[in-house]
Amino acid sequence: MVAGLSDEMTMESVEAFRTRTRAWMASALPSVEDPPLDSHALQRLLFDNRFAGIAFPREYGGAGLTLEHQKAFFDCAADLLRQVPAGYDHLVSVGMLGPTILEHGSHEAKLRFLPALLRGDDVWIQLLSEPRGGSDMAGATTRLTRDGHVYVLNGAKMWSTGAHVADYGLCLCRSDWDVPKHRGLSTVAVPLRGTPGLTIERIRAASGEAGDFCQEFFDDVVLPTENLIGEEGTGWAVAQTLLLHERNAAGSIGYGHLGPRLSGEDPTASDGLLGPSALLAALRHRRTNGAVATKLANAYIESVVGALTSARIMAGLRVGTHRGGWGSVSKLQASVAKHECIRTSLAALGAEGVIWDGADVRLDNAGTVWLGSRGGTLAGGSNEMQRNIVSERLLGLPREPSLDRDVPFNQVLRGLPAFE
């Protein structure tokens, strides 16, 4: 029998998997001290050894195991200080788009898209937000029209992280304008490289640099009908699934558990200049007054509690004490904590955080990071939207009143785009 073979009868136990994984990692996966492999090469290495898409069925390129096995794999990697594919685009592609296609794609779509995604050959991103708004995602106005045997796409998407380096975007668009907003949506796979009628522009971030996010213009982009993911009119359900995985990924939960959430003095902490471990360094090596020390302690405590919260929610989802949208709780916690961390770095570093030696622009200072720090409390659904979700969907409080729910979409009042 092939190791890890899953057929319902003979699923490898998590413990056996862990033993096999550790042995393989020790010999085959580079350590964090080795020269870094890019996430593409690492993903390929995992794929070739059937450690990619651990919880995906084997017929689509996965390992046919469960999310518990996936968690065990990445926990082992952290434990053994091994390199694993990292980076936001990887998380989005493998942790969010993959499971969404798995849930909503037809058998043919899954065969066509998933193996290349899991091998790391195709990187997928999300095309949801638009210039006219991101929170009210169901108000999408990018237009999908059927023309004989093909679809034609027109409109614009915005804030799409990684579009300039990705291969496919899953695009939420309107295919029916005569029904209320949630019912007229569809999702379609858009190839992003060299597609006629498609323009991709990077957006300049507040730091002054070209951001990781882009704006796309669709000008009669022609797509085969097989690129539809789900059915026509079911786009909202697909997008909801995608967002669920996005929130989970933000808290390192479920398919988005591609490494443990970092806390405190984690030896593998790659949390950058302003993560908890950097804050600790500031506390140790600088003169900090009591007020600053308290902020630093708060940030540290949040990081420990945040990691425990994610672990708890993940366990709860597994055993059934938690159901549904609990990823929003850890997403909200993590977003607030990260922003607070960056804010705290301003307090800890003072002038050193905003002025540096030399005439060149530097991006790795606290002030510049601060300028973009609200990105984390907006991306993936703003803090306010997460609070709506927690209060409405987890606690069952009344929904926000809305004026457009049951109105045909072509009669709904629409506002201005964020910028032209």
Partner 1 sequence: MNVELSQEQEAFRNTTRRFLEARVPLLVVRQLYESHDGFERSWWREAAELGWTSLFGPEVGGGGISPIPTRDAVIVAEEMGRMVAPGPFLPVSVVAAALLWEGTATQRADLLPALASGDSIASWALAEPGDVWDPASFMTRAVLDGDIMVLTGTKAYVEAATTSDHFLVTARTDDGLTQALVAANADGVTVTPGRSIDMTRRFGLVTFDGTRVPTSAVLGTVAGAGPAVERQVQLAIALQCAELVGVAQRTLEFTLEYGSSRHAFGRPIVSFQALKHRIADMTVWLEGSKAVTDALAQAIDDEDPESLHLARIAKAYVGEHCPDVVDDCVQITGGIGVTWEHDIHLYNRRATLDRALYGTPEDHKEQVITWLRG
Ligand X SMILES: Cc1cc2nc3c(=O)[nH]c(=O)nc-3n(C[C@H](O)[C@H](O)[C@H](O)COP(=O)(O)OP(=O)(O)OC[C@H]3O[C@@H](n4cnc5c(N)ncnc54)[C@H](O)[C@@H]3O)c2cc1C
Q: What letter represents residue 419's amino acid?
A: F
Smallest distance from ligand X to CB 402, Å: 8
Q: CA-to-CA distance for 386 and 134, rounded, in angstroms? A: 13
∠ Cα 358 352 374 (to 5°): 105
Report the interface residues with partner 1, using CB under 8 A.
Answer: 280, 283-284, 293-294, 296-298, 300-301, 304-306, 308-309, 311-313, 315-316, 319, 321-322, 326, 329-330, 332-333, 336, 384, 386-392, 394-395, 397-401
Closest listed residue to residue 297, CA positions, set 283, 285, 314, 278: 283
DSSP-derived secondary structure for 95-150: IIIHHHHHHHS-HHHHHHHHHHHHHTSS-EEEE--BTTBSSSGGG---EEEEETTE
Residue 336 engages ligand X in binding (rule: CB under 6 A) = no
List the catalytic residue out of 12, 130, 216, 246.
Answer: 246
Residue 128 engages ligand X in binding (rule: CB under 6 A) = yes
**Which of 10-13's residues contact partners 24+ apart within 8 Å by CB, and which partners?**
11/65, 11/66, 12/65, 12/69
DSSP-derived secondary structure for 21-63: HHHHHHHHSPBTTSPPPPHHHHHHHHHHTT-SSTTS-GGGTS-
Q: Which residues contact 352 (CB under 8 A, 6 or more apart)?
A: none
Among residues 18 and 157, whose Cβ is nearest to ligand X?
A: 157
Among residues 85 and 162, whose Cβ is nearest to ligand X?
A: 162
Q: Which residues contact 214 (CB under 8 A, 6 or more apart)?
A: 159, 160, 161, 162, 163, 164, 200, 201, 202, 203
Residue 21 engages ligand X in binding (rule: CB under 6 A) = no
Assign 385 to helix, strand or coil: helix
Q: Which of 378, 390, 394, 412 binds ligand X (CB under 6 A)?
A: 378
Query: Whole-angstrom distance between the N-terminal and C-terminal Cα of the chain?
Result: 59
Q: Which of 16, 81, 111, 135 binds ligand X (CB under 6 A)?
A: 135
Smallest distance from partner 1 to CB 309, Å: 5
Size of the site for ligand X (CB under 6 A): 22
Q: Which of 30, 57, 133, 180 binds ligand X (CB under 6 A)?
A: 133
Q: Which of 400, 401, 403, 420 binds ligand X (CB under 6 A)?
A: 400
Task: Considering only the stretches 57-65, 264-272, 341-349, 384-392, report the one whose residues sit in contact with ligand X under the rule CB under 6 A.
Answer: 384-392
Smallest distance from partner 1 to CB 140, Å: 23
The entry of partner 1, ligand X, none near residue 381 (CB within 5 to 8 angstroms by kind) is ligand X
Smallest distance from partner 1 to CB 154, Å: 35
Residue 134 engages ligand X in binding (rule: CB under 6 A) = yes
Q: CA-to-CA distance for 143 and 197, rounded, in angstroms? A: 14
Known catalytic residue at 103: no
Q: CA-to-CA distance for 52 and 250, rounded, in angstroms? A: 20
Among residues 297 and 363, whose Cβ is nearest to partner 1?
A: 297
Q: Which of 98, 139, 367, 381 binds ligand X (CB under 6 A)?
A: 381
Diameter of the chain by CA atoms? 70
Q: CA-to-CA distance for 354 and 357, rounded, in angstroms? A: 11
Task: Considering only the stretches 102-110, 139-147, 184-192, 383-391, report the one whose residues sit in contact with ligand X under the rule CB under 6 A.
Answer: 383-391
Residue 407 backbone class (left: φ over 0; alpha: ψ -120 to 50; beta: rest): beta
Smallest distance from ligand X to CB 400, Å: 5
Residue 306 engages ligand X in binding (rule: CB under 6 A) = no
Residue 201 engages ligand X in binding (rule: CB under 6 A) = no
DSSP-derived secondary structure for 281-315: HHHHHS---HHHHHHHHHHHHHHHHHHHHHHHHHH
Q: Return the residue nearest ligand X (CB atom).
A: 134
176-195 residues near ligand X, rule: CB under 6 A = none
Please tell me what DSSP assigns to residue 326. T
98-127 residues near ligand X, rule: CB under 6 A = 125-127
The entry of ligand X, partner 1, none near residue 301 (CB within 5 to 8 angstroms by kind) is partner 1
Residue 141 engages ligand X in binding (rule: CB under 6 A) = no
Q: What letter represents residue 335's amino acid?
A: S
Q: CA-to-CA distance for 263 and 7, rounded, in angstroms? A: 37
The entry of partner 1, ligand X, none near residue 236 (CB within 5 to 8 angstroms by kind) is none
Smallest distance from partner 1 to CB 145, Å: 37
The catalytic residue positions are: 246
Residues near ligand X (CB under 6 A)? 125-129, 133-135, 159-161, 213, 375, 378-379, 381-382, 384-385, 388, 400, 418
